[in-house]
Structure 1
Amino acid sequence: MSITAINVRNQFRGRIKEIIEGPVVSEIDVETPQGLIVTSVITTRSVRDLDLAVGREVIALVKSTEVSIAAL
């Protein structure tokens, strides 16, 4: 599935600035080129499955009160 196939209109491209990993959920801070920080709370399993790491380029997908992360 491509990113364009996702029904989320608010997308912020950026790089992972910080990952605070917990046993079940983790916080991911994404910094946009404009300096905006978008924070997402996702499962720690998803952090590993997406191979997320500080410095990795990602897209923060915002829908309602949820912020999702898509690996590029």
Structure 2
Amino acid sequence: MSSEPALNPRNQFRGRIKHIHEGDVLSEIDVETPHGIVTSVITTRSVRELELAVGSPVLAFVKATEVALARL
């Protein structure tokens, strides 16, 4: 049995690529969603293989092993 949580609508965001900061090995991808900007760091090779470009529609999957909160 896998300990990985199943993907569900709460951790998926539809959006469009707003900006790509391409590096030699890693790239930062800013995705504009109805809930704000989500930034992903992926390999530059993946950017090229997925043919990602500014304006491309994408589905961002969020996976967090830990999220810390502080009361304001």
TM range (shorter): 0.7 to 0.9
Give TM-score scaled by structure 2 length.
0.75
Q: Deviations over 1:39-68 (max 9, x none)?
A: 000000000000000000000000115xxx
Instruction: Give me the whole-angstrom Cα distance separating, in 2, the residues matched to 1:35 and 1:16.
Output: 14
Partner of 2:62, secondary structure, is strand
Instruction: Give me the whole-angstrom Cα distance separating, in 2, the residues matched to 1:24 and 1:48.
Output: 11
Q: Does 1:27 pair with 2:28? A: yes
Q: Any gaps of 5 or more consecutive residues in structure 1?
A: 1-6, 66-72
Q: Any gaps of 5 or more consecutive residues in structure 2?
A: 1-5, 66-72
Q: How does 1:12-51 map to 2 (within 5 A)?
A: 12-32=13-33, 34=34, 36-51=36-51
Partner of 1:63, secondary structure, is coil
Runs of 4+ in structure 1 over 6 Å off: none
Q: CA deviation at 1:8?
A: 2.2
Q: CA deviation at 1:35?
A: 5.3
Give TM-score scaled by structure 1 length.
0.75
